[in-house]
Amino acid sequence: MSKTVKLRKGLNIRLVGGASKVKTDANVPKTISFRPDDFHGMIPKVLVQEGERVKIGDIIFQDKYSDTIKYASPVNGTLKSIVRGAKRKIMEIIISCDQDQAPVEASAIDLASLSNEEVKTKMLAAGLWPFVRQRPLDVVADPSNAPKAIFISAFDSSPLGPDFDFVLKEKGKEFQMGLDAISKLTEGTVHLTVNGTITENTIFSEAKGVQVNSITGKHPAGNVGTQIHHIDPINKGEFVWTINAQDVALIGHYFLTGQYCAKKTIALTGSEVKNPQYIETISGANVSEILNGLIASDNVRVISGNVLTGTKIDKDGHLGFYHNQITIIPEGDQLKFFLTKGWLGPGFDKFSNSRLFPTFLLGKKEFTLDTNLNGEERAFVVTGELEKVFPFDILPMQLVKAAITNDIDGMENLGIYEVAPEDFALCEYVCTSKIDIQDKIRQGLDLIAEECM
């Protein structure tokens, strides 16, 4: 039975630079990259040597401790280099791309004739499994676990987030096939949660074979963690799997054609982008071709992902595996005179959730914000700001403190199994103490994984 959720807590950070609904195709990137850090806790075992040719769908590496989880090449090309760090840790695997990106010939897969276990085996062998993530721990799902439910969020409520209705409007067949395949991975319910403020019919509202839920409210309404908490919460010993809406369509494309395809449409956003728009590219693509001529100024920060949870990259860096967005905002390394732009300034160009500045009177004004923290880490003080933006029936400050102090019992009692670092991104943004809260929650989850799972 469908559920309707209305959130009262949260925060929409209104930034300049939303993508206009225009889509262009990017050129074939010079290189694509796999960063093992995108798959937290995974140690790669590389199966291809430097200089070796690969085709679309060839397996490049696998999880050292779970060799059924494989990672496929999204391009035709040559393995250019394996970048290593301290203690020979693999930091990046880079593939040079051919100009000819014709997929390997294949035939459609008869999904109806496959058992649940055969669908899982097909996805594992094709390198599609990394698209499936697991709560608790927020890692690539363990295929040996039985999930009680699978959650798919049909919208992104993060700052300048992509509009999945627009991105997938021509991929209804692939999306539905993906849902049909995913439904075979669990005996529980597949939840598809839509934005309750959108009333027109979309491919999401017309989806079949799943439970379509509705949620309204401010960010993080679009986060799967928020949706899981309010629709089907996780208890200790239970597992829920999550999949991004675009990745559902990629899974559906595989069963419709038999071909592995890692093409995705990303939103190029931010105040320092000359023409914010949607661009079709390849997962892990080098962004230099995408950004060429579109950056409005020199002193900028390029972020793979959104401003709250994304990763800083160079102008010739690579798109993250799970990212559907590139954001470019001003770098906040300029000195500010304290009477005009600093801590004693009137703040007519600043955004604040605490109504510290008069801009809260300006309605839905959009802001150009930089990366300046306007302070440094200090004592963790009780302000009540975290609770205002955290729409869980969980005490966020107490949970963060338990994670900082490695208090396993405290974390378990306070709901660590329900959360992921991204659920605390807004808490980190409003934190008066400038604590790196997402990192603390990740450390807590790692301890739970080591001691309790």
Whether the pLDDT of residue 349 is over 80: the answer is no
Q: Taking residues 382-387, what's their average pLDDT?
A: 91
Q: Shortest CA distance to 219 belongs to which of 409, 3, 15, 441?
A: 15
Rounded-to-integer distance, Cα 315 and Cα 403, Å = 34
Rounded to the nearest angstrom, the gap between the alpha carbon of residue 197 and the centroid of all alpha carbons in its chain is: 22
What is the b/e burial string over 376-390, where b = at least 16 CB atoms within 10 angstroms of the residue's CB?
eeeebeeeebbbbbb
pLDDT band at 176 (very low <50, low <70, confident <90, very high): very high
Tens of pLDDT along 351-372?
877 777 776 667 788 989 999 8
Q: Taking residues 199-225, what's their average pLDDT?
A: 92
pLDDT value of residue 213: 96
Q: Does residue 431 lie in a domain region?
A: yes
Residue 125, both tokens = 């062998």
> Helix or strand or coil: residue 263?
strand
Rounded-to-integer distance, Cα 157 and Cα 217, Å = 9
Tens of pLDDT along 57-107?
999 999 999 999 999 999 999 999 999 999 999 999 999 999 999 988 899
My answer on whether 97 and 216 are in the same domain is yes
Please provide the average confidence, as pLDDT, over all residues in the chain: 93
pLDDT value of residue 52: 97
Question: Within 13 A of 141's CA, how many CA atoms are on the CB side?
Answer: 29
Cβ atoms of residues 254 and 128 within 8 Å? yes
Domain that includes residue 330, residue range: 263-362
| Phi-psi sector, 347: left (phi>0), alpha (psi -120 to 50), beta | left
Q: Does residue 380 lie in a domain region?
A: no
Q: Taking residues 195-213, what's their average pLDDT?
A: 88
My answer on whether 88 and 121 are in the same domain is yes
Q: How many CB atoms lie within 10 A of CB 58?
A: 20
Which amino acid makes up residue 450?
E
Q: Does residue 95 lie in a domain region?
A: yes
My answer on whether 34 and 143 are in the same domain is yes
pLDDT value of residue 151: 98
> Helix or strand or coil: residue 120?
helix
Count of the separate structural domains present in the chain: 3
DSSP tag of 103: P
Tens of pLDDT along 303-321?
999 999 999 999 999 999 9
Final residue belonging to a domain, choices 235, 257, 279: 257
Final residue belonging to a domain, choices 330, 362, 394: 362
Final residue belonging to a domain, choices 212, 233, 257: 257
> Helix or strand or coil: residue 442?
helix
Which amino acid makes up residue 178?
G
CATH of the domain at 352: 3.10.20
pLDDT value of residue 1: 74
Q: Shortest CA distance to 20 belongs to which of 307, 279, 370?
A: 279
Rounded to the nearest angstrom, the gap between the alpha carbon of residue 318 and the centroid of all alpha carbons in its chain is: 15
Q: Taking residues 178-204, what's their average pLDDT?
A: 91
Q: What is the pTM of this model?
A: 0.95
My answer on whether 320 and 356 are in the same domain is yes
Q: Shortest CA distance to 382 belongs to which of 453, 432, 341, 332?
A: 432
Rounded-to-integer distance, Cα 414 and Cα 394, Å = 6
My answer on whether 156 and 250 are in the same domain is yes
By the 10 Å C-beta count (0-12 exposed, 13-18 middle, 19+ buried), 84 is classed as exposed
> Helix or strand or coil: residue 67?
strand
pLDDT band at 423 (very low <50, low <70, confident <90, very high): very high
pLDDT band at 240 (very low <50, low <70, confident <90, very high): very high
pLDDT value of residue 352: 79
pLDDT value of residue 285: 97
Dihedral sign computed on CA atoms, order 383, 384, 388, 393: positive
Residue 335, both tokens = 């000195």
